[in-house]
Amino acid sequence: MYLFISPWLIGFLIFALYPILSSLYYSFTDYDIIHPPKFIGLANYTEMFHNELFWRSVKVTLRYTFISVPVQLLLGLGFALLLHQTIPWRGFFRTAMYFPSMVSGVAMSLLWYWIFNPQIGLFNYMLSWFGIHGPAWLMNPDTALYALIIMSFWTAGSGMILFLAGLQGVPASLIEAANLDGAGRFRIFLNITLPMISPVLLFQLIMGLIDSFQVFTQAFVMTQGGPNYSTWFYVYNLYTSAFKEYRAGYSSALAWILLIVVMLFTAVIMKLSNRYVHYEGGSRR
């Protein structure tokens, strides 16, 4: 067995364990990557908690996460439920919904950079159909973050695919039985479908949170964290401190806080979900 898993074991040591531990060490040092690190104790951490940009990045990231992740999950689930029925053109709809997810990353950021352009972009043009005069989305500190949140809904199709796979795993016999017992659609959804797909939901919730804490591309390509730091995402802050200001020690402290927060969120969700998430066979694993 160890022969087979050795590639991962070696990789784990070199690319995960060693970096995590040395990043913990760096976080207690003054380090510019060129000169050797100088130990300064907790100074990075105390500075962080007094640093306005740190708190700004936390606020921006949390606000983005708490709106974008739940809405994306709901949209993905909603689309999947609609498409799980026998409906004309089902294959077409499924492909069409998933298509935007293939444009991820920089291409998507460029496209939406144009869509949100206040003068010539598609978004304000469509709003004008309804007599709404749209704002200068990405150039306005009040709207820039919301523009990025709206953009994130566009890829709900990738979640939809996973939900569809989950829905296929719900035994038809259970639903038929409930139907015979006179349960309505809504009851069936609440009492059978939802518990049966709850592992998919949990998986996507955790992965969605982790991804969302790491938003970088949008900030890098579209806004550079602006205007007026309104899209100053946590990882963008971390990247800037390390590779623009050459403060790798401070940045490592940021990295460790990120790691701790991700672990905390995951642990809390797992703990809470134990009561609600249904695994076939009764117990996990």
Per CB under 8 A, which of residues 192..211 are in contact with another protein? 197, 199-200, 203, 206, 210
Contact set for another protein, span 28-67 (CB under 8 A): 33
Q: Kindly state whether residue 269 participates in binding another protein, applying the rule CB under 8 A.
A: no
Task: Single out the residue of 30, 227, 262, 273 in contact with another protein (rule: CB under 8 A).
Answer: 262
Q: Kindly state whether residue 69 participates in binding another protein, applying the rule CB under 8 A.
A: no
Q: Kindly state whether residue 179 participates in binding another protein, applying the rule CB under 8 A.
A: no
Number of residues that bind another protein (CB under 8 A): 91
Contact set for another protein, span 218-237 (CB under 8 A): 220-222, 235
Cβ burial of 223 (10 Å; 0-12, 13-18, 19+) is buried
Contact 247, 34 (CB under 8 A): no
Task: Single out the residue of 97, 144, 150, 205 in contact with another protein (rule: CB under 8 A).
Answer: 97
Minimum distance of another protein from residue 42's CB (angstroms): 18
Q: Which stretch binds another protein (CB under 8 A): 45-53, 54-62, 106-114, 170-178?
A: 106-114
Minimum distance of another protein from residue 82's CB (angstroms): 5
